[in-house]
Structure 1
Amino acid sequence: MMAPARSMLPTGWLLWDTITIDRSEPQKRPEQVKTKAPLFRSVIGLAAAMLGASAIHAAPTLDLHFPAPSEATGSQREAMTSFRMAVGPFGADGIPTTLAEGALDQSAYRLQTADLSTLELLQPLRAQIKRAGFEVLFECETEGCGGYDFRYGTALLPEPDMHVDLGDFRYLAAKRIGPHGDEYISLVVSRSQDNGFVQVTQVGQLAQPAPRFTASTKTPLAAPADQQALSLPAKPVVSDLAGLLAQGQPQVLEDLVFPSGSADLAEGDYASLQALADWLKANPDQSVTLVGHTDNDGSLAGNIAVSKKRAASVRQALLARYDIPADQVQAEGVGYLAPRDSNLTDEGRQKNRRVEVMLTSTK
């Protein structure tokens, strides 16, 4: 069954080596525009599961062995859902997909390697998938996938859990017939300057969630599990935006949220936008420009396009939600040309992905 890509994202779990933390935090998967991709997975043993009175028996989860030390960064799961998996490159009609149904397991991993290419990351994973009886339905690399449109039409876990370099990523989708029906798996593989990144999506009875994982004897590569579960990010504080804008100082809109794989601003209330809207209404003779910024992964042209789309999405929110006149707000993007932190670390690159507002004229 083929159709333009749309998909759904389930409730959240954090995976960690062989430890699972249920965050009980519903999340939504973004509407897919037209798609693009990267991926990897560590060795996790799942116990068999039975769900509810129906006693659904799960086939074994496919465990992939990575070609470098790996750290599980995040996971999303759903007991039963429909999922459209990409099986072709982005084209005039969007991304061809096939309908997969069953339990959904979507997990992201960071690989500690600065030397392996995306092909070297993908090859051993592909071999393991084939040995497990899967038939490859589709495989592509960057522009062969559809570049920007493929990546942003593919549902991914959010940064920094899953990072995709727009100029260097690979995608693979495969299928096998299992004891309880069709089973699907897809990989998105990419990298940053210091690490490899892999997202594994499994749909079907092979992905049936189990109540617990086997105990691990390995030292976790991430922070302690209790810190991961309880140290939720603090809500950004809105500074004196009005006063600083009046002084001509650009301000970062720190609380903005963009769904995974999307350049569209997520629905919700943003204190920074409310403050900016109030200031614009109180100063109708002044105008501002929203400026999108990215990290330095990928080409300059691609990053400028992404940064401008995000700034444009914020502008549209100001116009639609707060009734700001169109001539008071402009949107531009400069890609990676104006970093506020080092691009040599994941933390720095995350800070560099932002939208700023600056005063541009006084009528």
Structure 2
Amino acid sequence: MHKKIVFSLMILLFFSLILTGVAFAGEDVEGSSDHPLISRFSGSYIIGYERVSYDEYILALDAIITESINEGEALAEHEVVRGSNKRFPAEHKKLEGVVTKITYLAPEERSSLEIFRNYEMELKSAGFEIIYQSSGDEIRYYGDWHGRKYPYELDFARGYNRHTYLDAPENPRYLAARMDRAEGDIYVALYVHTANRFAMAPSTGAKAKIQLDVVELAPMEEGLVSVENMEDDLSRSGKVAIYGINFEFDSAQILVDSHAVLAEIAELLLENPELRLYVVGHTDDLGSLEYNINLSEKRAKSVVDFLIDNHQISTNRLVPAGIGPLAPESTNKTESGRALNRRVVLVEIID
């Protein structure tokens, strides 16, 4: 009888551990989130996440090639070492901007094709253009190249074997996509493959891995914000919309790529010592009204503080304000429209 009780308790403990492992494995890693433009595949969860406010990224636009390394050969920035060989995309594009990398595990019953097609349709419906797409042997070593070129921490303890990420993909599929935006283009690299679930981890039930990388570029065209342009707009309409001031996602922290635009605003104020301005923050309508108004107020204040602290503009010449989504420039039904609505507007104060 005693042995039976012990055996039953062991069985209960075994299944308890399995169920706990499954539940724990299905949770996103701490500090991670979906990219606001692209939702996750249903039932998947995040095991790896990284977001960098400004960095470079090599976007693969063709097959991954393997070649021998010559003695003393220096590698190019888009090449990685694999044993005595080097691997690199036959064609690539170097990007710079906000880089977000998300690694998902998907439910066991979902194929890489089903996952890939769902993402493909979502990207197209959001306004992205597919600029390269492939599957099979041509991009089999994408994970190996990507993982060595841009390694970042993955939560392997909860159900993922690095070997499947780098070396052993099954049914691999890849696409690169681009969407034009007023404040800078967005690029997406999507890599999906399946693997034996025991190569992932038996307790997770996972079979497919999704690697989603999103790069948000700073505006490529320069000279759009100048003292002359701002003076013309202020003279004509009493206000000027500024699209070159960028912030951390969900934050009032100003990105480095905004400093040149802020320097132009400071120059405008220095050349016109009698000029006083309302600095008005605007957002799109994603989220609650209260949240967006609060965020726009904080961002406007960040701009004012930056001009005062870094360019010695008098405090009585700038008044921050935020109105969130209440004065849209365009429709909030499309990403391009929402991009136009996210801006800072300078309004002349008439005494």
TM-score norm. by structure 2 comes to 0.47
Larger Rg: 2
Structure with higher RCO (Cα < 8 A, 6+ apart): 1
* Greater helix proportion: 2
